Amino acid sequence: MADSSVYRRRRDIFLSHLGEYAAIIPAAELVTHHADCEYPFRQNSDFWYLTGFDEPNAVALFLPHKPKGEQYVLFVLPKESAAEVWTGFRWGTKGVLDNFDVDISHPLNELPNLLPHYLKGAEGIAFRVGKHPSLEPLVLKTWSEHLQKLPRSGFAPLSMIAPCPILHDLRLRKDVFEIERMRIASEISAEGHEIVRGFARPGMNERDLQAQIEKYFLEKGTRGPAYGSIVASGDNACVLHYTANNSDIRDGELVLIDAGCSLGDYYNGDITRTFPANGKFSVEQKALYEITLKAQEAAIRCVRPGGNAENVHMTALKHLVEGLIDIGLLVGEVDSIIEQEAYSHLYMHRTGHWLGLDVHDVGAYRLGDYHMKLEPGMVLTVEPGIYISDRLAVPEGQPEIDERWKGIGIRIEDDVLVTKDSVEVLSSSAAKNVIDLEN
């Protein structure tokens, strides 16, 4: 876990980018699961990135227009024995002052009274509208009141900006501390994949494998799965967001597992492996697997400083299409198949995404026509796949698919760090070569 200097450094950089804008960054709130039961708490990653504070409902203010020592203000739920008996420990106002390096703390219920004061003197407000429904009315009311008084006060925040471009640009580039956390998250996730593959047998249920990998994540002291684990045997693997995980695994089927852990400080792994349940690929499975692996390896070779995620995707896509032409599942020229998207019944998603505090992490992929250049410290997944089922119609001009190919879904996903010279595959200890997956 980080010491407080990690968060202080991030806040200093964030403050330096705000100009004279006052930023309002709320914590997450508890989310109802059903009736009066709530999901386990999950902090808002932007809030976490700046504060390292893991309680719900808090609100952080970043006030570059105030003197040093008054620029970081945290409103938190107050200590309250009766509430803590039900929902657990709270740091309270004194606790955050002593332990979280805040300049000023207040109980949350004072926010309506104090927000006008803290916004006074700011040139504008940095707040993400549309995302924080319980706080937004107060922010807009406070801003409106400042504007109302402008003729006599002579000063009011005049505009509102979204803080995300600043914050997400920072989060996109991981520093040394974050890279080490990402290594650990990916490594534990990869170990979980290795263990579950050794455990899997035909006749087990998908949820037996889910239990096994998630047990490992918990044993390693993580928060557990970073997202709903996908354990999909046979045709279920063709459902991209399959999370039912309740089918029996049959002899001769492949098993696709897309699972990663989330560390205590929310850094995530996101790995997919696909392997034969009985330890032996069929001819068709092997052909498709080798195409996918070749595409993935070629795409990973494109990850380097100066490259871009679009090129990584296009490289994977080109290899997939070439391979599918070779085995007769597509017909035509590679370029025109890609241009007409005549492959999209077999490969229907992009090849990756940024990875960090969020699994689908923040950060722009493009600015207008410009594709963000990869830089050292960026982490992305590379995850091509092939999914053969009857769910999508075969595009005009493409061949109908023989039954022997159907019910095969394959994805291979690694977590990849851009380094100074090239790339580090953070998830490399999860085996993916055919020889290692067969026994």
Least distance in angstroms from the C-beta of 270 to ligand GLY:
5
If one asks whether residue 413 binds ligand GLY (CB under 6 A), the answer comes out as: yes
| 318-357 positions binding ligand GLY, by CB under 6 A | 353
Instruction: State the number of binding residues for ligand GLY (CB under 6 A).
Output: 7
Q: Which single residue is written with the structure tokens 């410290």?
A: 377
Q: Which residue is nearest to ligand GLY (CB)?
A: 258
Give the tokens for residue 142.
């406070």
The secondary structure of 307-323, three-state, reads CEHHHHHHHHHHHHHHH
Q: Could you tell me how many residues make up the chain? A: 439
Main-chain phi, psi angles of 146, to 5 degrees: -65, -40
Least distance in angstroms from the C-beta of 359 to Mn ion:
7
DSSP assignment letter at 224:
E
Q: Which single residue is written with the structure tokens 């006030």?
A: 63
Residue 414 contact among Mn ion, ligand GLY, none, beta carbon within 5 to 8 Å by kind: none
Among 187, 270, 297, 361, binds ligand GLY (CB under 6 A): 270
If one asks whether residue 46 binds ligand GLY (CB under 6 A), the answer comes out as: no
If one asks whether residue 414 binds ligand GLY (CB under 6 A), the answer comes out as: no
In the bound state with Mn ion, the residue whose beta carbon lies nearer, of 253 and 414, is: 414
As a whole number of angstroms, the distance between CA 251 and CA 258 comes to: 20
In the bound state with ligand GLY, the residue whose beta carbon lies nearer, of 235 and 270, is: 270
Among 214, 258, 358, 361, binds ligand GLY (CB under 6 A): 258
By annotation, the residues acting in catalysis are 36, 241, 258, 270, 349, 353, 360, 383, 387, 411, 413
If one asks whether residue 227 binds ligand GLY (CB under 6 A), the answer comes out as: yes
Q: Name 272's Cβ contacts closer than 8 Å, sequence gap at least 6.
A: 230, 256, 257, 258, 383, 385, 411, 412, 413
In the bound state with ligand GLY, the residue whose beta carbon lies nearer, of 178 and 383, is: 383
Residue 227 contact among ligand GLY, Mn ion, none, beta carbon within 5 to 8 Å by kind: ligand GLY
Give the tokens for residue 42.
């999950």
Give the tokens for residue 80.
């309250």
AA identity, residue 402: D
In the bound state with Mn ion, the residue whose beta carbon lies nearer, of 105 and 427, is: 427
